[in-house]
Structure 1
Amino acid sequence: MTGFQGGLSITIHELTLIFHGADVFDYGDAARLISLLHPGLSLVAGVMARTAAEESGLPVTYDGRRPSEILAEYPGDKAVLIHRAKTDASAHRFGSLIHSHLKDRGLILIDPGTCQILTWEPVDPSLSAWLSKKTGYTVKSGIHHERYPPDTRVIGGCLPGEPVFVNGIIIGYATSEEAVISFHDGTVQAISGIDLKDHGVEKLIRFGCPDISKAWCKSGNIRISRPMKGDRRIRKGHIVVIDHSAMACFGAFDPDTCGILTIGDDTTSICGHIGCFRGMPILGITDGDIDGIVPEGYAPGSVVLQAAWERDDELGIEIAGMVPDEPVVWDEWVEKIIQELGDRVKVVHREI
C-alpha cells in the first residue's frame, strides 16, 4: 500500500515516526498518529518521553540519541519528527534548532499542540500534503532563527516564571519568551530573559561546563501527568547513587539494583517519578529547595528525607559514602541510615 500521491510514492510502512517529549504520549498524540499513519517504526527520544512511552504501552522503541542524530540516518521522505510545543513560537524555535543540526537534510515536524505541520527545506511536498490530509493539520513553512555564537544558547517558547534547564539542572527562571545564556570563563552568564539561580549554576559547573551548543535545554515542567505505579522490584541488591543528575536515572535500572540514593530536591522528584512505574524505590536527600517540575510519585519502599539545617549537597555526599559495595536489603539499609542521621533529618515522605 502506498501513501503519497505526486512526485514520490513510497510504502507507508517505510515511514518512521520519531516522538520527542512526554506530552505527545500523555495527551494521546502518539496513539492517534500511530493509528492514522501506520508507521513501520516508532522511535522515542528523551528521558521523560521514555517514561511516558513505557506507561502508554504503545509499540514504540526507545532511542537514547538526540532527535537530530536519529533523523540524520533517514532520508527526508522516510522520517517525521513529532513534538508538542507550548506555543506557536516554541514550535518554530524547536524545529529551527533541530533543522540547524541536520546540515543539508530537510525537516518535517508535526506539532499536535498547535495543529500544524512545519517544514524546513528541502522536503518532499507530497509527504507533507499526505500528512496534512491524514491528520487535518495545516502545513506551514518553519521559521529560520538567527544563529548565535557557539558559546551562546537561546531557549525559546518560555513562559515568564518557568524554570529553565540545562542538562536536567534548573539554572534559573524565565522572565520573557526567550532566555538567552552564554558560557564564559567557566560559568553561565545571563544575556537576557532569565534570572539565574546561583545554586543551580553552581551544581551545573560542579559537573563540568557542557558544550552549550549540544546541551539539553528546555523550560517549563518536564511532565504534567502523575506516574503510574509498578510492582516492587527486588528487595536485596546493589544501591546506585545519583547526585543532582536525574537524567542518568535510567542507567540505574540494572537487574541487581534494589534502590537509588538521590541527592537534591528536583533530582529526588524526577528519579522518584521515573522509578515509580518500574517499581524502583529511592532514598531522597533534600533540603526543601524544590521547584515542582514533575508530579510526585514514588515506588513502594521509597523514603524522602529533608535536611534539618544542612544543604542536601554535603549531606548527600556523606550518605553516599555509606553505600556499601556489596548487596544489601533495601528497607533495612534505609532504616539504618535514618537512625544514624537522627535529628539531622526528618522524614517528609514514605511510600508503603
Structure 2
Amino acid sequence: MALSSPVLTLIFHGADVFDYGDASRLISLLHPRLSLVAGVMARTAAEESGLAVIYDGRRPSEILSEYAGDQAVLVHRAKTNASAHRFGSIIHSHLKDKGLILIDPGTCQILTWEPGDPSLSAWLSEITGYPVKSGNHHETYPPDTRVIGGCLPGEPVFVNGIIIGYATGEEAVISLQDGTIKAISGIELKDHGVEKLIRFGYPDISKAWCKSGNIRISRPKKGERQVRKGRIAVIDHTAMACYRSFDPDICGIVTIGDDTTSICGHIGCFRGIPVLGITDGDIDGIVPEGYAPGSVVLQAINERDDDVGIEIAGKVSDEPVVWDEWVEKIIRDLDGRVKVVHREY
C-alpha cells in the first residue's frame, strides 16, 4: 500500500545536485513545500538551473535545526560511500537530539540517523527507488584536530575556502599546533595556503568549513553585463565571500590570487560581473573557468600576486568609475610588471 505524501522541505547542498540534475528530479518526484539551497557554489548552480529554489546562507545543520525530523530532508551528492557517511555524520553531530535523513544521489541511497522517522524514510525509498541505510556514527576527535574524510589522492583540501594542501589518502588529518596548521596524515600541506589561512584569522578547526575535491564540475553560464559604471569591490584570497560583494552598484571586482580569480570569475559570469584578476600562475583548477564580459586576468611576471594585488587594491576608491577605463589604466600603470593572460569580450 502506498504511503501518504508528507509535507516536505528539501535542503540542497553542493553544486553537483544541480549540475547532475538531481535537484530537478527530486523536486518533480517529491513535490516539496519548500526547496532551500545551502553553499556558495550551490547558489551559483541553483541560479543557473532556473529552478524555484531559495538560497539560505547558513550551514545545513543550522537550517535543519529549525525543522522537526519529519519535515526536512537534506540532499547532497557524495563522491564515495565513505564521504556520504562522514558528511551526514558531521551534520547530525550538530543537530543535538534531532535525527537526520540524507538523500545521496551520488551513491544512490538514503542514510538515516536516529531519532528518525521510519515512515518518511520508507516513503522516500518508495518514490526514489533508493534503499534506506543507517548512517555511521560520528567519531569525535580532540578539539585541535580535524579529520577530512572521503578524499581522493591528489585532490585539493580546503579549510574555510582556502586550499591548504593536497590529499594523499582517503582521510586528511590536520591539527592546530603552535599557531599554525600541521599535517598529521593523508595530506601534503601547501605552505602558501596555510600562510593565507592563518593570515585571515586563527580558525576554530572543529567548526571550520572543510572539504576536498573540486568545487564545481560544470562551466558557468554567461549572463548579460549589468553595470558598466559603479563601485569596485576587492576580494583577497577569500573567494567564498564573493556574494557579499554583489551590491547593485558594483561594476567589477579586483580578485587577488589564481584560484580566487577563477572562482569569483565563475560566480560572476552568470551575473554579468567582470573581474580584474591578479595571479602568479599558481592555479589549482578547482572550477572550470568562465568570465563575464569585461573581465581581464593579469599575471605577475617577477612578483607575487599578493604584493601586486595589494598595490592595486590601494588604488580602489569608494567613488564610482567606468570599469573598462579603470582596468586599462591599471594595465598601463603596471606596464612591464604584468602580462594579460585572458581577456573576455
Please report the TM-score for the alignment, with normalisation by the length of structure 2: 0.99
Unpaired stretches in structure 2, ≥5 consecutive residues: none
In structure 2, C-alpha distance between the alignment counterparts of 1:316 and 1:27, rounded to whole Å: 36
Contact 1:4 1:127 in 2 (8 A): no
CA displacement at 1:4 relative to structure 2? 7.8
CA displacement at 1:186 relative to structure 2? 1.6
Q: Which residue does the alignment assign to 2:182?
A: 189
Aligned residues: 345
Amino acid at match of 1:50: R
Contact 2:93 2:138 in 1 (8 A): no
Measured against aligned partners, the alpha-carbon deviations of 1:248-299 in whole angstroms (never above 9, x if no partner) come to 0001110100000000000000000000000000000000000000000000
Identity in percent:
84
Amino acid at match of 1:273: H
Q: Which residue does the alignment assign to 1:351?
A: 344
Tell whether 2:203 aligns with 1:210.
yes
Secondary structure in structure 1 of the residue aligned to 2:69: coil
In structure 1, C-alpha distance between the alignment counterparts of 2:122 and 2:280, rounded to whole Å: 53
In structure 1, C-alpha distance between the alignment counterparts of 2:332 and 2:233, rounded to whole Å: 20
CA RMSD of aligned residues (A): 1.1
**Residues 103-252 of structure 1 aligned to structure 2 (within 5 Å):** 103-252=96-245
Q: Which residue does the alignment assign to 1:308?
A: 301
Secondary structure in structure 2 of the residue aligned to 1:113: coil
In structure 2, C-alpha distance between the alignment counterparts of 1:184 and 1:39, rounded to whole Å: 45
In structure 2, C-alpha distance between the alignment counterparts of 1:325 and 1:4, rounded to whole Å: 61
Secondary structure in structure 2 of the residue aligned to 1:343: coil
Unpaired stretches in structure 1, ≥5 consecutive residues: none
Q: Which residue does the alignment assign to 1:50?
A: 43
In structure 1, C-alpha distance between the alignment counterparts of 2:334 and 2:311, rounded to whole Å: 10
CA displacement at 1:170 relative to structure 2? 0.3
Q: Which residue does the alignment assign to 1:269?
A: 262
Secondary structure in structure 2 of the residue aligned to 1:33: helix
Measured against aligned partners, the alpha-carbon deviations of 1:156-204 in whole angstroms (never above 9, x if no partner) come to 1000000000011000000000001111222111111000000000000
Please report the TM-score for the alignment, with normalisation by the length of structure 1: 0.97
In structure 2, C-alpha distance between the alignment counterparts of 1:324 and 1:102, rounded to whole Å: 44
In structure 1, C-alpha distance between the alignment counterparts of 2:111 and 2:12, rounded to whole Å: 15
CA displacement at 1:96 relative to structure 2? 0.6
In structure 1, C-alpha distance between the alignment counterparts of 2:138 and 2:227, rounded to whole Å: 49
In structure 2, C-alpha distance between the alignment counterparts of 1:91 and 1:50, rounded to whole Å: 21
Secondary structure in structure 2 of the residue aligned to 1:202: helix
Tell whether 2:329 aligns with 1:336.
yes
**Residues 284-299 of structure 1 aligned to structure 2 (within 5 Å):** 284-299=277-292
Contact 1:221 1:293 in 2 (8 A): yes
